[in-house]
Amino acid sequence: MRVIIEKNYEKMSEKAADFIASQVRRKPNSVLGLPTGGTPIGTYKELIRRYNEENLDFAHVTTFNLDEYYGLPASHPQSYYQYMKQNFFDHINISFNRVHIPNGMVRMDEVDAYCANYEELMKEAGGIDLQLLGIGGNGHIGFNEPGSSLGSRTRIKTLGQETRKDDSRFFENDIEKVPKAALTMGVATILDARTCLMLASGKGKAEAVKQAIEGPLTSQTTGSALQLHSHAIAIIDEDAASALERKDYYIYTEKMRAELEGDY
């Protein structure tokens, strides 16, 4: 896994935006996998700035969101549908008929078929070109909680107490208001993307980052599955990198990469 360590959250967000903007400019009809949460907000803001000031064009981009809370309608203020509109989609020229966000109100007896269809829609779109990811404090990607199968596909997943506690900050700090389950892309679904870009910021994510990058490949840290990916890139700030044992090596290799690219 390529590891890029930036000074702070702002620099991390700018670097992530560099990769996404490059992907979109190189392939205007790119298919992007998108996350929610606090970590990617800075990246979305930087992409919006580039749309407004640098003519970054999203008109032909297709998106698939990683997940959605089960039981929340799209109109709910804490739904990921509203999050994406408010933090990204309403501020760029993307066509909403190219936007895909799981429907958290699917009937339980229809969930399996719905999730299978979500997988088919991604295939019909040509597959995910670039999957943007955050990582949870317990090392999860998407809502693939510890213990999730590394071969899992889009499905309904029960949320652990730690995740619900973390997310309660969005629900008036009341864990009882946090949904008990979510629809989420599976680990194997995520690994199907041509490029995976994992972001992490802050010391609170340091141990999860260490386990994902340097720990054993294990379903107890689903982020560690990115070690299997041929083009996975972690972009983290110095605080999130603070527990890495090979931090100096990652810094060195990025310096050498920059020198080699400059030479050729």
| Side chain identity, residue 114 | Y
Residue 211: predicted pLDDT: 98
Cβ contact 67:190 at 8 Å:
no
pLDDT for the residue numbered 263? 65
Contact yes or no for 66/144 (Cβ under 8 A): no
Give the single-character DSSP code of 254.
Answer: H
Give the C-alpha separation, 91 to 48, whole Å: 6
Backbone angles phi, psi at 181, to 5 degrees: -150, 170
Which sequence positions are flagged as catalytic? 67, 138, 140, 145
Closest CA to 150 of 211, 221, 102, 212: 221
Q: What are the tens digits of pLDDT across the range 194-252?
A: 999 999 999 999 999 999 999 999 999 999 999 999 999 999 999 999 999 999 999 99
pLDDT at 76: 96
Q: 2-263: which CATH architecture?
A: 3-Layer(aba) Sandwich (3.40)
Q: For the chain, what are the domain ranges?
A: 2-263
pLDDT, position 146: 96
Burial 100-113 (b: 16+ CB within 10 A, else e): bbbbbebeeeebee
Check residue 205 and report its DSSP letter.
Answer: G
CB 123 within 8 A of CB 192: no
Residue 264 has pLDDT above 70, yes or no: no
Q: What would the pLDDT profile of 2-45 be if each residue is shown by its tens digit?
A: 999 999 999 999 999 999 999 999 999 999 999 999 999 999 99
* Tokens 């599955």, located at residue: 225
Residue 14: the pLDDT is 98
Q: Are 189 and 123 in contact (CB under 8 A)?
A: no
Question: How far, in Å, are 12, 50, 74, 249 from residue 84 at the CA level?
Answer: 20, 17, 11, 36
Q: Sheet harboring 232-237: ordered strands across?
A: 2-6, 232-237, 195-200, 130-133, 31-34, 62-65, 99-100
pLDDT of 74-106, one tens digit each? Answer: 999 999 999 999 999 999 999 999 999 999 999
Phi–psi pair at 51, nearest 5 degrees: -65, -45
